[in-house]
Structure 1
Amino acid sequence: MEASEGKKLNFDNTEIAFRHKSKSELNSAYWLFKIMGSNFLTQVGPPVTNLFLNIGLPIQGLIKATIFKQFCGGETIAECEHTIAQLAVSKVGTILDYSVEGEEEETVFDFTCDEIIRTIDRAAGDPRVPITVFKVTGIGRFGLLEKLDAGHELSAAEIVEYEKVKSRCERICRTAFEKNVPVMIDAEETWIQKTIDDLALEMMMLFNKEKLIVYNTYQMYRHDKLAHIKADHLIAKEKAFILGAKIVRGAYMEKERRRALQMGYPSPIQPDKKSTDQDYNAALVYSIENIMEMGIVCGTHNEASCKLLADLLNEHQISHNHPHVYFSQLLGMSDNLSFNLSDGDYNVAKYVPYGPVKAVMPYLFRRAQENTSIAGQTSRELDLIIREKKRRNV
């Protein structure tokens, strides 16, 4: 039976949501979300910041003390130790996410592969770091994946290049298997996603026979992804492996719609938010109904979906801390979900991005824009912080 049957989930409980934050941390978060509430600053900030960084103006310290501190664990794994310990006090796990992106050189791909393996080594044997993650574009060239997805013939050099990508992917997943540390393969743009999906399925067939190690990511703002989860589940049953599914809404909506319009093909994105929400929640229901054959990471900042999954576990009399069910949010966001869920003994882990300040700027800009573009996200975060400041009289 569930671990905390008597506890009622309350995502408005700011005492639990922010008890890990000191007075100064709470005030810093207040001012940061206040600034991010300005559309003008969120739009103008990225190009100005990039310009300042590129011409060598000393703003790196300012970035590190503000937006970087809110959304990142540090520049290295060692610098993330404080965040790992701080989250663990409230039984929230850490997902170390090396967030360097947009690189093109083989030497960088080899380094990134080694760094992802270092996150797995760091996680091994430490329940505070329960899951790891990587992007295939971190270990392989975007243009190569795009060519594969489009079905174009590869040159001899590109065939060798892709073998290296597969080899890096397998090395990461094999290390995860040997160290008993689950690893998630992140979703990316639709025009490279089929290649990533094929790789993820191949890795699951290799390493998910005995235990749940590899997860693929399903972006439910795509209208074909609910069917995709069900199809992959049937393959998993037939091939006798456990399906790992990280279920998210998605991260590239504007880019996807723009490209579809420019290139004249039907948009892969759902017609509206309601359709996305329906498919997302249907995927949760389907997963819980097949929980012995599937493991899920519910990656969402949506309160209704978190509540639904919590209710489904109770309905099906599944333990709150069942190893096949995790909730996940990003560091610095939706603490009211993460910490209230962990207080109810659900498995929760925060994505903790890290990397050199300049290299993680694209990630940070996306977070700032996401908070502005998701309806009510910034005002919701601000409202909760204000209420906690009032509760503490600070």
Structure 2
Amino acid sequence: MTSNSLFDNTETAFQLKSDSELERAYFLFKMISKEPLVKIGSAVTKFALNINLPVEGLIRSTVFDHFCGGVNERDCMSTVDRLYDVGVSSVLDFSVEGKEEETQFDATADKVIELTEFAKNKEAMPFSVFKPTGFGKFKVWQKITESEPLTDSEKIGWKNIENRYDRVSKVAHDNGIRLLIDAEESWMQDAADDLCEKMMEKYNKERPIVFNTLQCYRWDRLDYLKKLHQRAKMKGYKLGFKIVRGAYMEKENERAIEKGYKTPICESKKATDDTFNEVLKYILENIDDIGLFVGTHNELSTYLTMDLMKEKGISKSDDRIWFGQLFGMSDHITFNLGAEGYNVAKYIPFGPVKDVMPYLIRRAEENTSVAGQTSRELTLLKKEKERRKL
């Protein structure tokens, strides 16, 4: 068994944080721990940005700089280099959400291609990433998932989505950069899964390039994975998966009640943890066929992965297995894994302050709803502040 105290090492966890950055992090997580504050803060921020109040500077110097790498990729480079110096890679995530125009979707795809080509010569950046709704309208994804007929303009929209997926996947394949595709709400996800499967079949012949995301708070994901694995073996291509717990739980449950169908979400936190661990075990048992990116802030799942790797004689630096956490969170996991020689990456969101705000608000709301996440951050930050005083 791995010693379960690795993640208590705060000196390694916060080695890149100055005293003032440590104080800022403590202040932010203190604020995030209070749910009413997050709700009010989110509403006020949205309002202020919409009417162009001069609040960008304030947002930048607090929440934005803590959770984001910058307003453009050049901004992120000093962070990418500093992380890489201590054994942590970066996944630059152009986190612009909620766009609705074809030209905006094209611009996002172009940006992902640009980042992928840029990453080719940057050892610190082994992955590219995008969200399905960054490449096309939610409504189109939803109609295809629910087998509803598309209007003529939606048919064109879908064709464009397929082309963007193919362009980006081809560039990733040609440059040897792995491509992580995020998962979203269940009522649009089937269309995204099917398209992703098409890309895997086309571009994952030699090794996993295209990675889909499995949200393990869905009780049907292990079954989906096994069936897809059978199809991939028959057709002779590799799979790639990022596994996460999931980010839309309240929304999913509310919609299921409202529409009167069985919720796709596991019945309890324990059931979600069990699903996550089962999916993890299945992939590690089939690691020759499936690339793995363990996207988790959960210490126990991380220890479990380390134990299973050891048990199976898989080396810490085996390139088929990666860990990942979000920038500004769970540094105690990321930096201690990096120091131990595991493959680990930070997801670094970036983009114009106003455009990245929906992402940041979603993160803050998630943090208040994950029991224990914020208090663990606060405990570790406090411990490090005291260690430095001594």
Q: TM-score, normalised by structure 2?
A: 0.98
**Residue of structure 2 in register with 1:281 after alignment:** 277
Identity between Structure 1 and Structure 2 (%)? 48
Unaligned runs of 5+ residues in structure 2 are none
Cα deviation, residue 9, structure 1: 6.3
Q: What are the superposed Cα offsets for residues 216-259 of structure 1, whole Å, 9 maximum, x if unpaired?
A: 10000001001111111111111111110111100100000000
**Residue of structure 2 in register with 1:330 after alignment:** 326
Q: In the aligned structure 2, how far is the partner of 1:35 from the partner of 1:108? A: 34
**Residues 240-259 of structure 1 mapped to structure 2, 5 A cutoff:** 240-259=236-255
Report if aligned partners of 1:246, 1:299 keep a CA contact under 8 Å in 2: yes
C-alpha RMSD over aligned residues: 1.4
**Residue of structure 2 in register with 1:269 after alignment:** 265
**Residue of structure 1 in register with 2:15 after alignment:** 19
**Residue of structure 1 in register with 2:348 after alignment:** 352
User: Which SS does the other structure have where 1:358 is aligned?
Assistant: helix
Cα deviation, residue 34, structure 1: 1.4
Q: In the aligned structure 2, how far is the partner of 1:360 from the partner of 1:179? A: 28
User: Which SS does the other structure have where 1:351 is aligned?
Assistant: strand
**Residue of structure 2 in register with 1:164 after alignment:** 160
Given candidates 378, 387, 390, the residue that maps to 1:391 is: 387
Report if aligned partners of 1:9, 1:340 keep a CA contact under 8 Å in 2: no
Report if aligned partners of 2:2, 2:306 keep a CA contact under 8 Å in 1: no
**Residues 1-394 of structure 1 mapped to structure 2, 5 A cutoff:** 10-393=6-389
Report if aligned partners of 1:131, 1:181 keep a CA contact under 8 Å in 2: yes
Cα deviation, residue 368, structure 1: 1.2
Cα deviation, residue 30, structure 1: 1.2
User: Which SS does the other structure have where 2:66 is aligned?
Assistant: helix
Q: What are the superposed Cα offsets for residues 55-92 of structure 1, whole Å, 9 maximum, x if unpaired?
A: 22111100011100111000101111121012112111
For these two proteins, the number of residue pairs brought into alignment is 390
- Give structure 1 regions of 4+ aligned residues with deviation exceeding 6 angstroms: 5-9
Query: Which deviates further from its counterpart, 60-69 or 17-26?
Result: 17-26
Q: What are the superposed Cα offsets for residues 275-299 of structure 1, whole Å, 9 maximum, x if unpaired?
A: 1100100111111111111111000
Q: TM-score, normalised by structure 1?
A: 0.97
Q: In the aligned structure 2, how far is the partner of 1:246 from the partner of 1:8? A: 24
Unaligned runs of 5+ residues in structure 1 are none
**Counterpart residue identity of residue 216, structure 1:** N
Q: What are the superposed Cα offsets for residues 173-215 of structure 1, whole Å, 9 maximum, x if unpaired?
A: 0000011100011101000000000011000000000122000
**Counterpart residue identity of residue 165, structure 2:** C
Q: What are the superposed Cα offsets for residues 316-368 of structure 1, whole Å, 9 maximum, x if unpaired?
A: 00011111100010000000001111111110011000011011111111111
**Counterpart residue identity of residue 349, structure 1:** A
